[in-house]
Amino acid sequence: MACPFCSLLCDDLSLTVTKNKIVVAGNDCHRAKLGFEADSGHQYPQIEGQRVSQTAAIKAAVKLLHRGRQPLISGLGTDIEGVREAIHLAELSKAIVDHGNSADFDSGMRVMQKKGWYMTTLAELRNRSDLVVIVGADIVGNYENFSRRFLAPKQNLHLRKSKRRRVFYIGDIATAPKSTKAHMIESIDCDSSRIAEVMAALRARISGRLLQAKRVAKTRMREIETLGEAIKEADYPVFVWAPAHLPSVQADLTIQSITQIIDDLNKTQRAAGLALGGDNGGMSAANVCTWLTGYPLHVSFAGKTIDYDPVQYKTSTLLENESIDTLVWIDSIGNTAPPATNPGVKRILIGRASTEQGSSSDVFIPVGVPGIDHAGTMIRTDSVVSIRLDQVRMSRAPSVRKIIRSIVEQW
Binding region for another protein (CB under 8 A): 2, 11-12, 80, 84, 88, 91, 109, 112-124, 126-128, 149-150, 155-158, 235-236, 266, 269-270, 272, 286-287, 290-296, 301, 304-306, 308, 377, 379, 382-388
For another protein, the closer of residues 76 and 176 by Cβ is 76
Nearest approach, Cβ of residue 195 and another protein (Å): 24
Burial of 249 from C-beta contacts in 10 A (0-12 / 13-18 / 19+): exposed
Nearer to another protein, 87 or 353 (CB): 87
Q: Give which of 230, 219, 168 is closest to 195, Cα–Cα.
A: 219
- Helices 400-409 + 80-93 axis angle, to 10: 20
- To another protein, the closest distance from the beta carbon of 337 in angstroms equals 30
Angle at CA 199, nearest 5°, toward 194 and 203?
Answer: 150
| CA of residue 23 relative to chain centroid, distance | 24
State how far the Cα of 310 lies from the Cα of 97, in Å rounded to an integer.
11
- Among 103, 43, 56, smallest CA distance to 320 is for 103
| Smaller CB separation from another protein, 18 or 155 | 155
Give whichever of 79 and 138 is closer to another protein, judged by the CB atom: 79
Q: Strands 237-241, 50-51: parallel, antiparallel or unpaired by DSSP?
A: unpaired
Which lies closer to another protein via its Cβ, residue 149 or residue 194? 149
Q: How far is the CB of 382 from another protein (least distance, A)?
A: 8
Coil vs helix vs strand at 371: coil
Report in angstroms how near the CB of residue 128 gets to another protein at its nearest.
7
Parallel, antiparallel or unpaired: strands 299-300 and 272-275: unpaired
Name the minimum Å distance from CB 82 to another protein. Answer: 13
| DSSP-assigned beta bridge partners for residue 300 | 96, 307
d(CA 176, CA 171): 7
Please report how the helices 54-67 and 400-409 are oriented relative to each other, as an axis angle in degrees rounded to 10.
Answer: 60
Q: Quote the least distance from Cβ 136 to another protein, whole Å.
A: 22
Contacts of 171 (CB under 8 A, 6+ apart): 134, 135, 136, 137, 138, 189, 190, 192, 195, 245
In the complex, the smallest distance separating the C-beta of residue 187 from another protein, rounded to whole angstroms, is 25
Phi and psi angles of residue 57, each rounded to the nearest 5 degrees, phi first: -65, -40
Give the nearer residue to another protein in terms of CB position, either 72 or 389. Answer: 389
Nearer Cβ to another protein (349/379): 379
Which CB atom, from 158 or from 218, has the smaller least distance to another protein? Answer: 158
Nearest-approach distance from CB 374 to another protein, in angstroms: 11
